[in-house]
Amino acid sequence: MRTLDELFFRKTIGQSLMNSVKSDKLASSFLFWGREGSAKLYTALSLAYTIKKAAGDPYVEKGFEDLSHPDINIVIPAKKEITDDPVKYRQMIEDLSQNPILSPKLEGQPNIPVSSIRDLIKWLYTSPTYPGGRFAIVHEAHLMRSEGANAFLKTLEEPAAESHIILLSTEPESLLPTIRSRTQSVSFPPVAEEDIKRICIDDFQIPTDKIQAIVHSSGGSIKKAFSLKDETLKELTDIEETLWRAAMTGSLIDQLAWAKDMPNDRQLVENLLLAAQKTFRNAMLINSGKRFEPRPIENDIAENISGVDTHQKGIELFEDLLYENKRNPLWNLFWINLPLSLHNLFHL
């Protein structure tokens, strides 16, 4: 586990939190928000680890190694069969401890039952076992049921002594406004390319010949970079290039040919959209005069696209597509409409 001072991939956020710790002005409740893979959970754990270590907690190293520390309580959304089974739930936490820089994989229709929130509230009002206080971390807090969210409000209004609450969310707008107003908001932007590269080397031990392609397709997400390490990157790159070619030609035949063999795979779609989003941004950088070594497809897109309005529309389009992908799209229609949506960028 890294301390806040060692969070090279979240240097600004780490320094800001560290300054608050040193000046004894750390908020009691936080909302860490940003896209998946932006190291929100790891930063929350790092904050707790830094404070517990500085306080002389004798169990800090072992307790954070396997996330068994009695003063750390992590609530993760899961299917009912897991949340109702303490053994399965503990196994999920142990799996997370193997690589806490990655956010947990949520399957099915996960939620945070009100019973989990009530148990967490009771836990917060008990005394810490070791020096440094208690830390409650709620992953994807927007998945709390309304009853649980309302129960949580009073705790945020009257926090327990020696306790800190850190809510994490990829959809902060889905949280109750009253919850958002009672927490200190910390925005987590995509992780910088150089930092993704270093994580690929230091944490994931990815061969150097694969790193550049992985960084390009990761979209600033540590989790995406990890998922891509075992994926056939050439296949993803080929799919993306074919998508852009179909979009530039505007040919319905090309679009249908591209769409017909696409799988109903949410993870593939997200990786593809993030890669295409990065390609689009690079094309716009070419047109702004920025010097770097682009791929041929990026040059082709740059030659066919221009304008500030196009840049803004492209950013909004990819955000909409990534959001739609989370919402159970009709796959056949989605694959056909995707190149058509991109084609419209060339005719603004």
Q: What are the structure tokens assigned to 148, written together?
A: 């649980």
76, 136, 171, 175, 200 from 167: Cα distances, Å: 11, 8, 11, 10, 27
- Greatest C-alpha distance within the chain: 67
Task: Tell me 112's DSSP state.
Answer: B
Closest Cα partner for 166 from 143, 185, 144, 138? 138
Q: Write out the chain's pLDDT in tens, 348 residues.
A: 999 999 999 999 999 999 999 999 999 999 999 988 999 999 999 999 999 999 999 999 999 999 999 999 999 998 888 888 888 888 888 888 888 888 787 776 788 989 999 999 999 999 999 999 999 999 999 999 888 899 889 899 888 889 999 999 999 999 999 999 999 999 999 999 899 999 988 888 887 777 887 887 788 889 888 877 766 566 777 788 888 888 887 777 776 776 776 766 677 777 788 888 888 888 888 888 887 788 888 888 888 887 767 778 888 888 888 877 776 566 667 777 787 788 888 765
CA distance 167 to 182: 11
Alpha-carbon distances of 66 from 4, 80, 100, 127, rounded to whole Å: 19, 24, 10, 22
